[in-house]
Amino acid sequence: MSNARAGEEALIARYFAPLAGPGAEELRDDAASLTSTPGHDLVVTADAIVAGVHYFPDDPPTSIARKALGVNLSDLAAKGATPRGFLLTLALPEDWTETWLAGFAEGLGAASRDFGCPLLGGDTVRTNGAAMIAITAFGEVPAGTMVKRQGARPGDRICVSGTIGDAALGLRLHPANRRGWTGPVDAADRAALIERYRHPKPRLMLAPVLRRHVRVAMDVSDGLAGDLAKMLTGVTARVILADVPLSDAARRVIASDPTLLETALTGGDDYEILCAVPPDARDDFLAGSQAAGVAMTDIGSIEAGEGPPIFLDENGAERAFARASFSHF
Amino acid sequence: MSNARAGEEALIARYFAPLAGPGAEELRDDAASLTSTPGHDLVVTADAIVAGVHYFPDDPPTSIARKALGVNLSDLAAKGATPRGFLLTLALPEDWTETWLAGFAEGLGAASRDFGCPLLGGDTVRTNGAAMIAITAFGEVPAGTMVKRQGARPGDRICVSGTIGDAALGLRLHPANRRGWTGPVDAADRAALIERYRHPKPRLMLAPVLRRHVRVAMDVSDGLAGDLAKMLTGVTARVILADVPLSDAARRVIASDPTLLETALTGGDDYEILCAVPPDARDDFLAGSQAAGVAMTDIGSIEAGEGPPIFLDENGAERAFARASFSHF
């Protein structure tokens, strides 16, 4: 280890101890304690992001940190959980720099504060490959109320938060993407879509609304089409394509190349909430979402039957997607 | 993705869903729920192991899995916690095979059953570098009783479980270690020491004994000398070298090359418990450990002062270690 780069203990003390929450012993222990709220269940989730796979190595380290935490908190939000803390396992590549790490810690601290989710501990290792950020996040729900993914029933309405496809289009428009889309695009639209790719916004405000009203929910991380398929066990679904919410920027880009609609629906990284709602709860759910400050759109219905979801275009024709879901794997 | 290797969802269903515990929704959700025992705190810890750094890539995958879980449960044991579950983030290299993964899952399942710690979820990603297994483990302690690492006081006795240095010597004797020790060694001794390197045995039986009797504790993962130094805040320590427990195999190897004593004391991977015990609790603690089936040895004392621990040889001379702690970082 060179003097120019500090050892693991020094790194932790300098960059990560300031982010530590209660019970984390200032990261000077090998574990942290967390006092559960009486009458609550813990909800646990783990998601890792890898340089060159889930983000561009040259993305700002503050953005990478925010994304790493955000994708985990998006899972907690979809389960109806309130964040309590997280553990970070950071695999640093051979060419890591303290400048990068300082930026990463700064972004992680800001995201941690914004999302109300303190750092509780973790591990730092070296890798001969790409950097990897593996986070485990903990949240809480009142006992027995975790919102599940399986169990949608025929007749349930399918709803989705925010807008779909922005991040996938942002990925296609990212200047570092060698397989990107190179058609003409407004600079502000490009910036807005890349912003959505870089900075997922976990829908934490929806957690109590989901617990109260929905049958099942998940976050959209691998594309609307593929993730909806994962939600269907013993049922199928019909989605009205024209009802899928798109941002103005996404509409304009898709208008200039209609094949990009498939990117929007299958590309992933939305981190919006996808859920199935009993029909008699739909209106209250939409109102509750609006009161929580999140747009929520009814896009279709759960149907009896089997097979992947069917997407209907404006002529009532069924659209199939060659590639239903983005797989990083 | 080739047909020869299944996609992520199929892999999870085939290899990992059979290991899932209650609340894990058969790994068909993005999160798991865990009901805390009333009146208990959760204890959380994360440790990752990387191929070529923490284990040899050609080690049996069953062994690698057992080690990945074992090093995490060792931290829980040291904190006085009973395991409740774990999350697995698995980064697979480009040349992974289903044979390897099947062996890994088999070993993980066996370790999970042996240690009473079910799989709750996780993530699988691809890496362009070495394989990495990042585990987050959860345990429980009665509220407020997590055993901490900092806070040892002058006069406390320093105790350590089992024997020290076996794993570090096993690493030196490992046939795949190009910087290994090449002196003569009995085949059974070599096998016993390599076994200790490959298969850490978390001292879970000690958890309640630690909660009852010790002031502070940690597991020895980076070498006795360095880890003891980490335990000292505002105090120092004196260790009687002759009292440090060594296995017969370790004694024989060290007898043939006395410089290997330093390997034993600084090399790491022991996964034994190191603790400081108030002097009036020492005898009950030793008896309690024995009743739990774990050898426990008094090796020295916490002293007023500052600085790294002092090791005294049979002549009362102070021994210094050039390299106090093994750092993988």
Nearest to B41 among A35, A43, A76 (CB): A35
Residues B43 and B166 in one domain: no
* Residue B252 three-state SS: helix
Q: Is residue A2 part of a domain?
A: no
User: Would you give per-residue pLDDT tens digits along chain B (329 residues)?
Assistant: 233 456 778 888 889 999 998 888 888 888 999 988 999 999 999 999 999 989 999 999 999 999 999 999 999 999 999 999 999 999 999 999 999 999 999 999 999 999 999 999 999 999 999 999 999 999 999 999 999 999 999 999 999 999 999 999 999 999 999 888 888 899 999 999 999 999 999 999 999 999 999 999 999 999 999 999 999 999 999 999 999 999 999 999 999 999 999 999 999 899 999 999 999 999 999 999 999 999 999 999 999 999 999 999 999 999 877 565 555 55
Q: Is residue B74 part of a domain?
A: yes
Nearest to A46 among B7, B43, B122 (CB): B122
Q: Which of B14, B54, B123 to mutate to test the interface with A (most CBs of A within 10 A)?
A: B123
Cross-chain residue pair B149–A76, CB shorter than 8 Å: no
Q: Which residues of A are annotated as a binding site?
A: 30, 45, 47, 54, 75, 122-123, 149, 219, 221-222, 269, 326
ipTM for the assembly = 0.91
Q: Is residue B3 part of a domain?
A: no
Enter the DSSP assignment of A221. Answer: S
Cross-chain residue pair B129–A126, CB shorter than 8 Å: no
Residues A165 and A285 in one domain: yes
Q: Is residue B148 part of a domain?
A: no
Angle between helical axes of A61-78 and A187-198 (0-180°, round to 10)? 60
Q: Using alpha carbons, list the distances in angstroms from residue B44 to A227, B74, B81, B127.
A: 30, 12, 9, 26
Residues A230 and A291 in one domain: yes
Residues A124 and A199 in one domain: no
Nearest to B1 among A53, A233, A327 (CB): A327
Tokens of B225: 């000398």
Q: Are A42 and A138 in contact (CB under 8 A)?
A: yes
Q: Is the dihedral of CA B283, B285, B287, B289 positive or negative?
A: negative
Give the pLDDT confidence of A189-234 residue by residue, as tens digits.
Answer: 999 999 999 999 999 999 999 999 999 999 999 999 999 999 999 9
Residues A118 and A226 in one domain: no
Cross-chain residue pair A44–B120, CB shorter than 8 Å: yes
The Cα of B225 is separated from the nearest Cα of chain A by a number of Å equal to 15
- The CATH number assigned to the domain holding A246 equals 3.90.650.10
Q: Is residue A147 part of a domain?
A: no
What radius of gyration do chain B's Cα atoms show? 20
Enter the DSSP assignment of A160. Answer: E
- The CATH number assigned to the domain holding A104 equals 3.30.1330.10
Residues 6+ apart with CB under 8 A from B170: B190, B192, B193, B194, B195, B196, B197, B198, B269
Q: How many domains does chain A have?
A: 2
Q: Using alpha carbons, list the distances in angstroms from residue B289 to A39, B180, B236.
A: 35, 34, 25
The Cα of A47 is separated from the nearest Cα of chain B by a number of Å equal to 6
| Whole-number Å distance between alpha carbons of A254 and A246 | 10
Range of the domain at A188: 157-319
Residues A202 and A308 in one domain: yes
Residues A105 and A227 in one domain: no
Residues A260 and A174 in one domain: yes
Q: Is residue B309 part of a domain?
A: yes
| Whole-number Å distance between alpha carbons of B305 and A123 | 30
Nearest to B30 among A8, A129, A219 (CB): A219
Give the pLDDT confidence of A293-322 residue by residue, as tens digits.
Answer: 999 999 999 999 999 999 999 999 998 775
CA dihedral A157, A159, A165, A166 (to 10 degrees): 160
Which residues of chain A are within 8 Å of residue B93 when distances are taken between CB atoms? 129
Q: Are A74 and A200 in contact (CB under 8 A)?
A: yes
Domain boundary among B111, B142, B173: B142
Q: Is residue B325 part of a domain?
A: no
> Residue A184: what are its φ and ψ, rounded to 5°?
-70, 140
Q: Using alpha carbons, list the distances in angstroms from residue B158 to A30, B148, B221, B239, B276.
A: 18, 15, 17, 8, 5
Q: Is residue B45 part of a domain?
A: yes
Burial of B260 (0-12, 13-18, 19+ CB in 10 A): buried
Nearest to B44 among A50, A93, A121 (CB): A121
Domain boundary among B84, B119, B142: B142
Which residues of chain A are within 8 Å of residue B29 when distances are taken between CB atoms? 79, 148-150, 218
Domain boundary among B142, B170, B185: B142
Nearest CA in chain A to B51: A127
For A16-31, what is the mean pLDDT? Answer: 88
| Whole-number Å distance between alpha carbons of B163 and A99 | 42
| Whole-number Å distance between alpha carbons of B300 and B296 | 13
Cross-chain residue pair B8–A148, CB shorter than 8 Å: no
Cross-sheet strand order for the sheet of B132-142 = A32-35, B40-50, B132-142, B82-92, B119-126
Residues B309 and B168 in one domain: yes
Q: Which residues of A are annotated as a binding site for Mg(2+)?
A: 30, 45, 47, 75, 123, 219, 222
From the list B86, B96, B84, B69, the residue with the least C-alpha distance to B4 is: B96
Residues B104 and B171 in one domain: no
Burial of A280 (0-12, 13-18, 19+ CB in 10 A): exposed
State residue B179's pLDDT score: 85
Residues B138 and B165 in one domain: no
Residues 6+ apart with CB under 8 A from A3: none
Residues B217 and B72 in one domain: no
